[in-house]
Each structure stands twice: as structure tokens, then as C-alpha cells.
Structure 1
């Protein structure tokens, strides 16, 4: 009997290993297809050095921020590869934080990105996730072991709006995208806050940026972003928070952050992570 159990365990382990290898390969193929679509939307950018003396009539905190994180004459960011590690909260009521690693490709013009994540559900059992905005559509795709679909959502409307919000909020990692002429319109709120509006085709989003006294982005908030609850999308206040700023190339960017839903009973964080690598493509 013991021998039989050992044989069964070995067979199950081998089967799981084969499924993991196949699932990872299949997921990688899907990622390549998605990234190809993303690259096909790129708009060529001519070299255009940053001119901090020609910021126009920007809100005071935004002007201070751009002077703080950018250098005069530096090139614009055209694309970036971001690698993260951290923890993702899989719990709907009680918290259930699981470790993740991810690699994200971002294109500035036309705005788009693909977040390709691997979340550890159990030891040796990963969940793969695509969270993306491509050609004006949002995408949320989740698969167990990379080959057993758990969720697939794709399209315009609330999903696309939520993903474009993410693109705009994460501009703290590619701050030249927040310069005048890059598509973002700014409106003064007070001495520490400004509203940013970004339009891509039929999708328009507004986020409120709050800045520190040192001229850095502290939080980014949306009055409502689509939150998926039991298969239904519910508009919910949402916030991203940044800290641990360091110099990366010509820019000063945050290397740690947290994202949360702002529920009536209090904030519910669902993403906590840090940047492990940033690779920029510049309009030289």
C-alpha cells in the first residue's frame, strides 16, 4: 500500500509539473500576442528635450513636481518596462495576501500597457494575470496554472476607463507623460492637489493627484473606478499611494506603492509592491 501511495504521489507531481510547463508556455504565447498588439499602436516620437521653463500655466503643485522629478533637456519617455514584486490580496472579506512577481510593458503614445503577473495561490500552484489597456480596450484575464481560465473580461466602457485610470496613475513611473503636450490636462484644486484629465479615443478619465511638501506625488485618487464584486462591476472610490523616491536615469520616481479600494468601512488595500527594475526607452 505504501508503495502504491508513493507511486501515485510521483505521478501527480509529474502531472502537475507537465501542466505547469505547458501552462507557462501557453501564457507566454498569449503575452507575446498581446504585446504585439500594444507595439502596433505606438506613435513615433521625434526627439523633444524637456523644457522646464515652458510649462505654461500649470497648477503650482504640478509645476513644482515636474521641476523636482525631471531634469532640463532630458528626453521624453516613449516606453518603459517595469518589474515588480510584492503581495496581492486575494481575499474578498478577510485579507488573504499572496506573493507575486510581475513584468509590465507600458507605451506612452498611444497610451497602453500590459501587466503580466504571477501570483502564488499555493506552493507550486500559480495564478497568471493580465491587466491591460490596449487600443482603447481594457483587459482582465486570470488563469490557474496559465491554462485553466478563471476570468476573462475585455472591452470598452467601464473596464477600459478603469485601465486608463491605472495608466494615468502610474505615470509617476514615467513622469514625462504628465508634461504639457502629452495629452494630460491639469486643473488646480488647492495648493497641494490638482486634477488630471486624460482622453484616449472614446475613453476619458479624471484623477486627483495629491503632492507632498517636497513636490512629489503622494496619492492619486478616483471618485469611482469599476470594482469587480461577485461578477458585478461596482463603481468604488480608489486610491494609489507612492513612496521611496529614488533617481532612475534622469528622473526621480517612486519605488514602492500600495493600491486600495476606499470602502465605507475604511481602505481595503489589494496591491502592495516595490519596483525591482525599470528600463526606459527614450526619444533620443
Structure 2
């Protein structure tokens, strides 16, 4: 009986400690994430153009022009910020699939380009790993931590780290499509009747991605010839694809709500993100 009582007391203490750590970790993580979002907003630049003019797409490659004709309407307010929520599954390994459920919220600014992605990935029952992935004022960062307290390693800086994060921002611009307009700094170049290259620059960072368009005229896939991915403790450059589907109308625009992100490895395709957008809230130029 004494052993049972000791076990019960020990279990109760462990549960209290776990609850305390969880609450403290959530509080500290939230504060740190809010600070990153404040830094992102502080880096925001003023944009002189507040509404989309359909005349600006007249000289674009045919598939790009068709995309904007479908996705936007003349007079659409220019997006300056986005708050969105996601849910889905995340694969933690390129070798043996380890799909884990996640939820996330993300804050995005389009001028200057940047985002803060705040996710909780359920590694084991009742043991979430908090992850922040961000691009702020030319700096890229990735910070995972168990319960938001115990760091699992972090990367931060310019160079390929920043380039990879800006690449993510650019591929995800289908969620905030006015950011893909020439008036917002994007340069489009023809490839063929169903694809085009798009180039974006932010300070020292400049990159080009291949946008592929479906039979419906909408963006179906965004491709990078090389993006840095973590394999163990090493950054490995690999081809990278983002696939979009299930477009719906939101605030007058057509945007996808389903996405899959894939590494193209010598062993074949290795998907690592499958998610759905559950909430989209825009801040438009005339409101900011």
C-alpha cells in the first residue's frame, strides 16, 4: 500500500511539474514569437501603389497574364500583411517517413517581404515541439524547442539561410497574390505556355523560381533548382517543389488552401509538408 501511495504521489508531482513546464514554455514562446512579429512589422516599408491596375499585366508572359486574370480583379486592394492558420502533417525524416500532426499560425508582410511561422508539432502524445521559421529584414532563422523551452538546435543568418527562407516566402505568395505583381517588384520571364520564371530581390538576397500553371490557369507548382535542407547537422542543396490545390475565392482573390512541399532527392520525391489553410485574414494597403 505504501508503494502504491508513493507511486500516486510521484505521479501527481510529475503531472504538476509537466503542467508547470508546459504553461511556462507556452508563455515564454508566445512572448518571443510576438517580439519577432513586432520586428517584422517594424521592418515594413511604405508602398505607393494601393490597388491593382489590370493594365500592368499586359506585357507579361501569356501563362502569367492568364493567372492574374483569373486570380485578381481590376481594383483589387494590394495586400500588405496576412495572418493565417494551418493544420496538417509534417515529415521529420528524409530516410524513414515520420509524419507528425501540426498546427501553425503565420504572420506575413509583403513590403518588405517577411514572415514568422509559429508551429506546434506533436512529436509524442502530450509532447509538442514548438518551431519558429522566419525571414525578417534579410535574416533567416529556424528555432525548434521541446515545449518551447528545451532547444533542439537553431540556425540563423544571411547567405543560404536567408535565401532559403525568402524562397519559402516567394513560393507561398499564391496565398497573397498581389505580392506577385510587377508593381510589387517581381520580374517575370517567359519559359513556355504553361510556366514562367519569377525573380524577387530583397536587399542582398535575390532569387528566381519556376512557376508552373495548371490547365485552369492557376499556379499548380513552384520549383527551385536548389534549396538548402537540413540532413542531420548538414545543409544539403536539393531541388524543391511546392504544389498547390483546392483554390477558393477569398476577399475577391483566388487562393489555394491545400499545399504539399517536396524535396527531390536521388532516391525520389520526399514530401515533408502536407497542410491546409484554415484561416486567412488580410491587411490591405488602404487599411495599414
User: TM-score range, shorter-chain basis?
Assistant: over 0.9
Q: TM-score, normalised by structure 2?
A: 0.97
Which digits, 9 at most, give the CA deviation of each residue in 1:144-168, with x for residues without a partner? 0001010211100000000000010
User: Which residue number corresponds to residue 151 of structure 1?
Assistant: 153
Aligned equivalents of 1:92 and 1:46: distance in 2?
Answer: 44
Which digits, 9 at most, give the CA deviation of each residue in 1:196-233, with x for residues without a partner? 11111111111100001111000001000001112111
Tell whether the 8 Å contact from 2:82 to 2:107 is kept in structure 1 after alignment. Answer: yes
Say whether 1:108 aligns with 2:110: yes
User: Which residue number corresponds to residue 132 of structure 2?
Assistant: 130
User: Which residue number corresponds to residue 221 of structure 1?
Assistant: 223
- Measured after TM superposition, the shift of residue 54 of structure 1 is 2.8
Tell whether the 8 Å contact from 2:56 to 2:183 is kept in structure 1 after alignment. Answer: no
Tell whether the 8 Å contact from 2:244 to 2:259 is kept in structure 1 after alignment. Answer: yes
User: Which residue number corresponds to residue 172 of structure 1?
Assistant: 174
Task: Name the SS for the 1:42 alignment partner.
Answer: coil
Aligned equivalents of 1:135 and 1:53: distance in 2?
Answer: 31
CA RMSD between the two structures: 0.9
Q: How does 1:15-26 map to 2 (within 5 A)?
A: 15-26=17-28
- Measured after TM superposition, the shift of residue 4 of structure 1 is 1.2
Q: TM-score, normalised by structure 1?
A: 0.98
Aligned equivalents of 2:55 and 2:216: distance in 1?
Answer: 19
How many residues align structurally? 284
Task: Name the SS for the 2:193 alignment partner.
Answer: coil
Task: Name the SS for the 1:160 alignment partner.
Answer: helix
- Measured after TM superposition, the shift of residue 47 of structure 1 is 5.3
User: Which residue number corresponds to residue 251 of structure 1?
Assistant: 253
Gaps spanning 5+ residues in structure 1: where?
A: none
